[in-house]
Structure 1
Amino acid sequence: MQSIPETSFDVIIVGAGAAGLIAAITAARRGKKVLLLEKLSKIASKLKATGGGRCNLTNTLGNEDFMARFGREGRFMTPALHIFDHKALITFFAEIGVESHAPDGYRVFPISHSSMSIITALEEEIIRLNITLITSARVEKLEYEENNIVGVSTALQTYYSPNVIISTGGLGYPQLGAEGDGFTIASDAGHTITELYPAMMPLRTQETWGANCRADTIPKVEIRINLSKAKHIHAHGDLIFTQNGIRGPVVLDIAREITPLIEKYGSVPLLINMTKGLNEEQLRHHIKKEIDKKPEQSILTHMMTLLPETLCRALCTLANADPDKGFNKLDGSIRDRLIKLLAWTPLTVIGHDGFNMAMITRGGISLKEIRPETMESKICKGLYFCGEVMNLDGPCGGYNLQWSFSSGYLAGHLNTTP
């Protein structure tokens, strides 16, 4: 049994993930008496799994470029990033004993490349600051009088405080505790919850030929959505074919745009460039150079200077091209079709595995009802939000974790806007 010394605190934080942990530490460092409630038996379960356990903390982009990657809502982050950007985050962890680096000059990891070094350091700081941590404590409702927070209730106890920070995350990875508790709590307090969609996840395709191309990771791929109102949406990164679809960083990035479209249209057509950005004219020139060097070789051999063999054979099949023939011996219409497929390969997304495989949630508490300068609710005084529970999500590459830390740091200041 966990002993409960008392029930009154300066601030109560609901959820001990990345955002909640840094909010608790920030508030305690400012002299506040802090209670941190976590419904699971351990803290930071999702943080432990971040980046495959390597924990991509943040990235080295400047604040303007960083916010742009979140789309039109990104400007909401301005105050939080102003006081706690990637440089401040790196310094914060260095101060509690975790050095980090950016081996590719962009993504920042702890030098250990282990999320456990991050979690251990945060746990030790919680102990050092005498923060009261109670695990296996699910908050069931907010307690408030008129429009003022007075505390929270679990199944066993009511805890009192004029300040409550909700940092419960979204719906992604329910096996790690994500059940949307924060959405229910916020909704009960009068907040609007936008449509919720799974994001940052593998996708299933109508086409089955990709199942034969699973052995290789295709680098520097561009994916575009081939819908009239979404042609501007695209993503870049590595692509991996699966038994029934596609995954990899480029898919994780664009999935957040695709899942709402699947619900609307049922399927989403994509165009995929797997030839490092070469267009049709450049591809013809490339193959001509290969033919000039080795005129006796097959089109398959020439294509393999661009792509793995399994993928080359799949594209030849789609174009009805004999892979063992020379390029110039193919019918003209077949040559044209093959070049078009090399430049932009069509795929059709027809589904996904829902929140069970989603790393993050698209949607959440409406940003219109939250003050970006403080993270405080505009509806209920003393109620704050941070992290994924809000309607703000970004691509993979440290964006969402940095936002969790930045918003948690700002919320932990407990500043109130009149």
Structure 2
Amino acid sequence: MQNSPKSSYDLIVVGAGAAGIMAAITAARRGKTVLLLEKLSKIAAKLKATGGGRCNLTNTLSNEDFMARFGREGKFMTPALNALDHKALIAFFADIGVESHAPDGYRVFPVSHSSVSIISALEEEMERLGVILVCSARVNALEHDGTKVTGVSTDTQTYAADNVIIATGGLGYPQLGAEGDGFELASAIGHKVTELYPAMMPLRTKETWVGDCRADTIAKVEIRIDLPKAKNIRAHGDLIFTANGIRGPVVLDVAREITPLIEKYGEVPLLINLTKGLNEEQIRSHIKNEIYKNPEQSVLTHMMTLLPESLCRSLCTLAEADPDTGFNKLPGAQRDHLIKLLTWMPLTVIGHDGFKMAMITRGGVSLKEIRPETMESKVISGLYFCGEVMNLDGPCGGYNLQWSFASGYVAGHLGESV
């Protein structure tokens, strides 16, 4: 990679993550001179870690379904996804030598299942295009004349450019360099930054019995938030109990909704279906059939046809039911309680470990001040945003990475139609 910078460029990109790299490549392919500044010693630290290092690039949902998973702000992505949807992103990587596939028909990975292959290909493409990369370069300020950007200043130098793209990410995973630099740069020139919350992370619960169930993963659960104004918020996926709470894909998905509610209410009640969507009537029928086949077996044995032993024992304790007695010998209230727990088990979230355990950030530069067709600032001309620095975040499953690449692609066109 070239690393001998000059003083003036067509474009300066601040932040060499997925969004910033895509923006730099896009602009360079259009004949622009590009300087890419990264404060860490290497590029793409967070991209390297994504998907456990396997790099879940995107998913195969339609654009409409994809945007719906981002909530009410999702429609902002329409121009970007029209320009670079998952099919176009797959084609982009194939063009630079990285083949991908969707083993489960949904999540798209490089065939290598290694983020290193993605990063290497992106580095090679930037070098081919003549993108100037400078690492260990922290941008301290945006230079401007009040109406348009004129460049950036680092600890050691000022670089001139008529266009600047902020692609610094959020606050999640500070060990990978996230410090909120972009929020400060945007605020300093008058942009509004919404409240920031950690998202996609484990959660802590009031209930301590969860620590007895750490050995087991519960597949295909549904989580609902049991608050009047959040009744429609739900997530599906695998659940893992921890020493002091819950984690797993379903928790990562719903955490982005829960962290603002914790700040507001102090604790957030959840209802969790543990039985792959079975309702109360279906569970009663299942248990009845098990009793018919094995009338002498215990409550615990019958419950273990649905869930692991450790969790079954904990549910029996919650229902004050003897796990070693026959199901039909339990008092009616205890039987009903067990059935209800199997259908919708209550848990109460009381906290989390903050941004140090958060994969992404909820909140960011206000979308109302950014043009979705170009990603250009409405506050000052020549300034663009892409990726997580904006107030738009989605669940796990390739959503946030697809958005980073798509927004970077649009921003890299520097205001020209895509």
CA apart distance, 1:416: 5.4
Residues 5 and 134, structure 2, Cα contact 8 Å, conserved in 1: no
Residue type matched to 2:160 in 1?
A: Y
After superposition, residues 99-248 of structure 1 pair within 5 angstroms as 99-248=99-248
Residues 3 and 133, structure 2, Cα contact 8 Å, conserved in 1: no
Residue 300 of structure 1 is matched in structure 2 by 300
CA apart distance, 1:326: 0.8
Residue type matched to 1:413 in 2?
A: H
CA distance in 2, matches of 1:246, 1:3: 45
Task: Give the TM-score normalised by structure 1.
Answer: 0.99
Residue type matched to 1:91 in 2?
A: A
After superposition, what is the alpha-carbon deviation per residue over 1:336-364, rounded to whole angstroms, capped at 9, x for unaligned? 11111111110000000000000000000
Residues 23 and 411, structure 1, Cα contact 8 Å, conserved in 2: yes
Following TM superposition, the consecutive aligned residue runs of length 4 or more in structure 1 with deviations greater than 2 angstroms are: 2-5
CA distance in 2, matches of 1:113, 1:416: 35
Q: What's the secondary structure of 1:163's corresponding residue?
A: strand
Residue 317 of structure 2 is matched in structure 1 by 317
1:328 aligns with 2:331: no
CA apart distance, 1:5: 4.0
Residue 36 of structure 1 is matched in structure 2 by 36
CA RMSD, Structure 1 to Structure 2 (Å): 0.9
After superposition, what is the alpha-carbon deviation per residue over 1:295-338, rounded to whole angstroms, capped at 9, x for unaligned? 11111111111000110011001000001111110011111111
CA apart distance, 1:59: 0.2
Task: Give the TM-score normalised by structure 2.
Answer: 0.99
* Gap change, CA 1:312 and 1:151, over 3 Å in 2: same
Q: What's the secondary structure of 2:35's corresponding residue?
A: strand
Residue type matched to 1:337 in 2?
A: H
Residues 168 and 182, structure 1, Cα contact 8 Å, conserved in 2: yes
Q: What's the secondary structure of 1:239's corresponding residue?
A: strand
CA distance in 1, matches of 2:146, 2:129: 33
CA distance in 2, matches of 1:310, 1:374: 53
CA distance in 1, matches of 2:278, 2:33: 59
After superposition, what is the alpha-carbon deviation per residue over 1:253-273, rounded to whole angstroms, capped at 9, x for unaligned? 000000000000000000000
CA distance in 2, matches of 1:88, 1:97: 14
Unaligned 5+ residue runs, structure 1? none
CA distance in 2, matches of 1:363, 1:194: 5
Unaligned 5+ residue runs, structure 2? none
After superposition, what is the alpha-carbon deviation per residue over 1:207-256, rounded to whole angstroms, capped at 9, x for unaligned? 01111111111100000000111111000000000001000000000000
* Gap change, CA 1:206 and 1:12, over 3 Å in 2: same
Residues 198 and 354, structure 2, Cα contact 8 Å, conserved in 1: yes
* Gap change, CA 1:286 and 1:404, over 3 Å in 2: same
CA distance in 1, matches of 2:373, 2:90: 22
Aligned residue-pair number: 416
Residues 376 and 416, structure 1, Cα contact 8 Å, conserved in 2: no
Q: What's the secondary structure of 1:9's corresponding residue?
A: strand
Residues 149 and 163, structure 1, Cα contact 8 Å, conserved in 2: yes
Residues 209 and 314, structure 2, Cα contact 8 Å, conserved in 1: yes
After superposition, what is the alpha-carbon deviation per residue over 1:102-145, rounded to whole angstroms, capped at 9, x for unaligned? 00000000011110000000011111111000000000000001
Q: What's the secondary structure of 2:90's corresponding residue?
A: helix
Residue type matched to 1:176 in 2?
A: L
CA apart distance, 1:411: 0.2
Q: What's the secondary structure of 2:61's corresponding residue?
A: coil
Residue type matched to 1:285 in 2?
A: S
Q: What's the secondary structure of 1:238's corresponding residue?
A: strand
Residue 98 of structure 2 is matched in structure 1 by 98
CA distance in 1, matches of 2:325, 2:153: 73
Q: What's the secondary structure of 1:10's corresponding residue?
A: strand
Residue type matched to 1:407 in 2?
A: S
Residue 410 of structure 1 is matched in structure 2 by 410
